[in-house]
Structure 1
Amino acid sequence: MFDTIRAFFLAYWYIVVPVVTLCFLAIPVIVYWNEVRYWLMNVRMRLPLVGRIRSWVRHPGTPEDSGFLSSERELCSFYAKYYDDHKVDKAFFKKCENYLAKANEDGRREKNLGIWALIIVLMLIEATAFGYALAPFALTLATPKTAMIGAFAIGLVISIICLLLSEFAGRELYKNSVVGHIMSFEDLRGTGDMGDMVRKNLITIDNTTDDDARPEFQQMLNRVRAPKDGAMPAKRYRVASAYTVFIVVLACAAFWVRTETLNAQEAELIANPPAVSQTADDFPTGSDDDFPLTDDMANLSQQSTGKSAQDQIDALHRASLVTFAVLSVLFVFIQTTSTFLAYIFGFAGTHSRKAWEMTHGFANADEFERHHLSKARSIAVDAQSSLGTLQGLQARVFRVSGTTKTDTGKNLQQRTFENYLVYAANEATGKQTDEMMRNFIQKGIDRVQSLIDEGDLNAAAKAFNDIGPAVASINTSNQDLLPLKQKFESLRPMFQAVLAPSPAPVAAPKPVIAAVQTTTAEPVAAVPVAAVAPATPVETDAPAAAVPEAPAAVAPAFDKNAWGDLTDFEDEDLPHVASKHGVDIALLRRARKLQLLEKA
């Protein structure tokens, strides 16, 4: 068997070597995928003739509100995605550790190069064994060389399928163990909201501290997407069961194929026994010149020859069956090993893998921050280099249109990757502000509408005035919020009619004055007249229709310094500051971000 395998590798090295090399090159790609992906993006950007930069040189695009050309903005956005992944601080390191600890996965890790190399070696051994077993029956109409290559290719495909199934089965078994750990709190959980076996918060790495007060099993449920039976977490064995059936069927099929091959060899031995064709028999019949044998001696010679051939066939049959059984057990062992490796490595938490990738290999938060700061600077240098290359090539290209030539050279010193990051941060802050305002105004309009449906027009008018300043601050050029403003303005005529009679009670002192004039002397009457004179403007103060419009003239701008310097606080401290000042934490986050941008 081993001689046949060695002969196969020597005869078809030009096929085996590329396949094996490709399998082993896949290991660093899997382990260091983020770095490989960034390298591929960088290469795709700078290819001499078909790269993205060459395409953008021919089609620079038009200037945008940010001052960048559309091609420059697109180039910077590619690098900004990787730059933001490394724009982290010490607080993020602590959040990653907190996330892993609450998911009960702080002691786990992903497969390294050595583990993946072992898995690839096991996969190639499987492929070779399957190829050897399938060779006599694969592609029977093809030439022997083609049949061997086809059998090895089929064996390689089967091995890859087994590897994928073992990976999924191992992950499913590990998730079942996590569910079992969660269910172990069944008898220890409390009552009410703190005892529910359901997800209570949408937890990511950024807000991992939001469920600090919840019990351990709910913290795990917030981070692991566990299958459920009704409202309770449940274990699933679908992939593991299908994988087990697949492996058993495959092992039995391989054993059957090898047995059929053995039967064919035995039939050939029976048809052509080797003991008959030997040159020197134990009992030669002799020639005419030799001493003649009797009939009894000749019969004994023939019986011995037949018995020797049958003994060889029986011995070969027994040895082959034992070998086939060992190969089947070896195949099952390899699959069990692959499943076990998938079980002990990897994560079940939604963001656990990212948290581990960001923090593993660092002794403390300072080392973590220095490493990612260095990575961010390196990406910024690459981005500025690519942007400079694009701008330089655009400057040297002949433009028929003078406008295009002017656009590519305008404000060139301001169109840098650093300024793009500032613009992108401001744009993101503006989007967050618009989203907060949209939610606030929409809730206000919904409340006004519900009060109108209930018939409480006075309360509806008050709610209408509460959201008036926010609506007045919406710019007419903001197409996202303009429909809300138009919807708000469509309610104004209704509340103008409701609020119009409200100042009428101010004129109530008028009849009182008349009574005093009829019951008092003339000197006394002069006093009330003088007092009434300044009160007359109250009666003509302003119609009630002006009440909703008054806040629009004094709508305050967002004051980022209203709560002091927030840059000295960490992000996890903002909830305490928000509760102290009695404001929404989203406003504090916005103010802190604007202060950081101002200090940058």
Structure 2
Amino acid sequence: MDIMQLIKEFWWLMIFSVLALIFILSAWDTIRWKAMNYWYGFPLMGKVARLSNNAQPDNHKKGWLKSERALCADYQKYIAIKSEAEFKRYTDYLNRAGDTGRHTTPALVWLLIVGLVIAEAWGFSYVLAGFTIPGASEQVQNFASIGIAFVLSVLLVWFTHLSGTELYRNSVVAEARSAWNNAGQVGTLMGKDVTLAYNEEDNDQPFYIQRLNRLTKKKVSFPFTISTIVLVVIVAIGSTYVRSTVLEKQIIEEVNGTQTSYFGVPSELATVAETANNQAQEDTNTLERKGGNTTFIILAIMFVFIQILGVIFGHKWGFGGKQSKEAYRGLGRGRYATYDDMLEHKNHVIDEAQARLESLQQKLEHKNANYGGVAIKTHKTFEDFLFEKAEDRHESQQKHEGIGAHATRHATASLASQASQTPDNTPLTAPAVQESNVTDHAAAEVNLNPSEHNSTELNHDDQIAQLKAEIEAANKQKQQALEIEALKRQLAEVKQHD
């Protein structure tokens, strides 16, 4: 059975497999969560049952068992530990990037795209079947034609999607630049990169500058669009030419295979009959050529419009901001319209995790008591785990930034003292930073190099700019502390709710 017969026999299985794969990928997060939660509660062989055999204490975290922390770590992957301020930062980033309300490409649209790819590949495979590997067997030619057609179809889908996204991003850039011109600004509008972590960095800037600062591209350009047009035109014309050539070949073969014998017929009658037969054959061939070429032109037009549809899909879905996709994921991939929606999902995960943790603790106590071991009394909760994780991250961040923050405060105090005691036009000297107290990394963070700035004099404008930068860094540290406090309040509210 060759490849074409195999496809004809099991085409329904191939389509079903593709549909199932798309469904699984589109709902992967939900499927993975439900599968893990079910497996933890599965009787006898579930993960709770297996973890209950491990009663070893965790040497790194006092009061915890290793099995307890393993369970909590698995459930913690499915919960977004975010403060309301962080949630608002994600929504604000999308708004400033012009991506509010946009989504990734839906699963049903991908299903349609895959169907079109299969249809295109199938059509191309018939066109290319006789020309891929001349001289090879029919089965080899079929394999090669299907492979080449599939690769070509995937390239077309990819390029049309990218060109649609490019056209959308160009429209956002053009909108920002139009607002710049309408505001009476002169010169060249040049944006900088503002990351999601420092979304408030350009709060004092107009919206069109804020938008440009978050876009992947800062200028209007069309590399993918031009490449897609060239590729589509080449494939449309090339496939039409190949189809026309195949039709002409078939007509010639039919003519050669239908030679009429006039043996025994008088020559005059044979000549008249042959002339009439040739005329009829020519008329038939002409009609076949016209009908075939018209069909091929219609197929080429359909092909072009299918590619235009791919461009429309790319324009409608996707993001223009450099980190808009990360912000979109942080908002639950569009699942959470408000912060309360996210809290509801988080509370559901916390409840499930706490129920599994209590089941594990009961099994541990029961098994240890039955086998004469030391009595185990565990009082840890899943909320305790989340809180400790948040504190660990905060402490780690403080250690990373602590030395730099200390040097910043020292520089700020010294410079402010000099500013208060010195006239405006008197140069101020940056304080010396000892290498024994501040590492090179910390010095780089506060922009004070021990080997270069001990004797560097700063004018008054540089003085003010540096103080502003240091105040901004202090405000960011204060914001992080506020987020930790907000997390503590949320955990307390959940405990009260329970």
- With the length of structure 2 as denominator, give the TM-score of the two structures: 0.71
* Counterpart-to-counterpart distance in 2, 1:271 and 1:44: 70
* Residue correspondence of structure 1 range 299-378 to structure 2 within 5 A: 299-353=271-325, 355=327, 358=331, 365=338, 368-369=339-340, 371-378=341-348
Give secondary structure in 2 for the equivalent of 1:303. helix
Q: Is 1:177 aligned to residue 140 of structure 2?
A: no
What residue in structure 2 maps to residue 211 of structure 1?
Answer: 202
1:535-582 per-position Cα deviation (integer Å, ceiling 9, x unaligned):
xxxxxxxxxxxxxxxxxxxxxxxxxxxxxxxxxxxxxxxxxxx99xxx
* Residue correspondence of structure 1 range 197-236 to structure 2 within 5 A: 197-199=189-191, 202-204=194-196, 208-226=199-217, 233-236=218-221
Q: 1:238 to 1:317 in 2, by over 3 A?
A: same
What residue in structure 2 maps to residue 136 of structure 1?
Answer: 130
* Counterpart-to-counterpart distance in 1, 2:356 and 2:92: 38
Name the larger-Rg structure. 1
What residue in structure 2 maps to residue 429 of structure 1?
Answer: 394
What residue in structure 2 maps to residue 558 of structure 1?
Answer: none
The 8 Å contact of residues 170 and 340 in structure 1, kept in 2 or not, is answered as yes
What residue in structure 2 maps to residue 35 of structure 1?
Answer: 30
**Structure 1 range deviating more: 423-432 or 74-83:** 74-83
* Counterpart-to-counterpart distance in 2, 1:266 and 1:170: 41
The match for 1:586 among 464, 472, 477 is 477
Number of equivalent positions: 442
Q: 1:171 to 1:43 in 2, by over 3 A?
A: farther
What residue in structure 1 maps to residue 488 of structure 2?
Answer: 597
* Counterpart-to-counterpart distance in 1, 2:269 and 2:166: 71
Q: 1:70 to 1:243 in 2, by over 3 A?
A: farther
* Counterpart-to-counterpart distance in 2, 1:156 and 1:44: 38
1:192-243 per-position Cα deviation (integer Å, ceiling 9, x unaligned):
9xx8734457342x764553431122110232122xxxxxx32232222322
Which residue identity does 1:187 align to in structure 2? N
1:306-351 per-position Cα deviation (integer Å, ceiling 9, x unaligned):
2222222222222222222222222122111101210122211134
Q: 1:261 to 1:425 in 2, by over 3 A?
A: same
* Counterpart-to-counterpart distance in 1, 2:234 and 2:209: 41
Q: 1:337 to 1:201 in 2, by over 3 A?
A: closer
Q: CA deviation at 1:379?
A: 2.0
What residue in structure 2 maps to residue 271 of structure 1?
Answer: 256
* Counterpart-to-counterpart distance in 1, 2:486 and 2:345: 25
What residue in structure 1 maps to residue 237 of structure 2?
Answer: 252
Which residue identity does 2:167 align to in structure 1? L
* Residue correspondence of structure 1 range 282-301 to structure 2 within 5 A: 294-301=266-273
**Structure 1 range deviating more: 312-321 or 52-61:** 52-61
**Structure 1 range deviating more: 49-58 or 343-352:** 49-58
Which residue identity does 1:68 align to in structure 2? W
Q: CA deviation at 1:591?
A: 6.1
Q: CA deviation at 1:161?
A: 2.4
Q: CA deviation at 1:265?
A: 1.0
Q: 1:315 to 1:587 in 2, by over 3 A?
A: closer
Q: 1:464 to 1:439 in 2, by over 3 A?
A: closer
What residue in structure 1 maps to residue 19 of structure 2?
Answer: 24
What residue in structure 2 maps to residue 239 of structure 1?
Answer: 224
What residue in structure 2 maps to residue 528 of structure 1?
Answer: none
Give secondary structure in 2 for the equivalent of 1:342. helix
The 8 Å contact of residues 66 and 423 in structure 1, kept in 2 or not, is answered as no
Structure 2 unaligned residues grouped into runs of 5+ = 416-427, 443-470, 493-498
Which residue identity does 1:429 align to in structure 2? H
What residue in structure 1 maps to residue 80 of structure 2?
Answer: 84
* Residue correspondence of structure 1 range 377-396 to structure 2 within 5 A: 377-384=347-354, 387=357
What residue in structure 1 maps to residue 119 of structure 2?
Answer: 125
The 8 Å contact of residues 182 and 220 in structure 1, kept in 2 or not, is answered as yes
The match for 2:381 among 392, 412, 416 is 416
The 8 Å contact of residues 31 and 111 in structure 1, kept in 2 or not, is answered as no
* Counterpart-to-counterpart distance in 2, 1:108 and 1:27: 21
* Counterpart-to-counterpart distance in 1, 2:306 and 2:18: 17
* Counterpart-to-counterpart distance in 1, 2:188 and 2:70: 47
Q: 1:259 to 1:380 in 2, by over 3 A?
A: same
1:144-169 per-position Cα deviation (integer Å, ceiling 9, x unaligned):
56755664454333222221221122
* Counterpart-to-counterpart distance in 2, 1:64 and 1:591: 27
Q: 1:60 to 1:156 in 2, by over 3 A?
A: farther
**Structure 1 range deviating more: 168-177 or 57-66:** 57-66
* Counterpart-to-counterpart distance in 2, 1:52 and 1:250: 57
Q: 1:127 to 1:44 in 2, by over 3 A?
A: farther
The 8 Å contact of residues 83 and 483 in structure 2, kept in 1 or not, is answered as no
Q: 1:73 to 1:440 in 2, by over 3 A?
A: same
* Counterpart-to-counterpart distance in 2, 1:412 and 1:309: 97
* Counterpart-to-counterpart distance in 1, 2:402 and 2:161: 46
Q: 1:150 to 1:15 in 2, by over 3 A?
A: farther
What residue in structure 2 maps to residue 514 of structure 1?
Answer: none
The 8 Å contact of residues 215 and 321 in structure 2, kept in 1 or not, is answered as yes
Which residue identity does 1:106 align to in structure 2? T
The 8 Å contact of residues 350 and 382 in structure 2, kept in 1 or not, is answered as yes
The 8 Å contact of residues 448 and 464 in structure 1, kept in 2 or not, is answered as no
1:14-72 per-position Cα deviation (integer Å, ceiling 9, x unaligned):
54223222332344345445434545666787899898996996897853234334564
Which residue identity does 1:375 align to in structure 2? H
Q: CA deviation at 1:177?
A: 1.9
Which residue identity does 1:112 align to in structure 2? P
Structure 1 unaligned residues grouped into runs of 5+ = 1-7, 227-232, 278-284, 288-292, 451-458, 472-479, 485-577
Q: CA deviation at 1:422?
A: 1.8
Q: CA deviation at 1:445?
A: 7.8
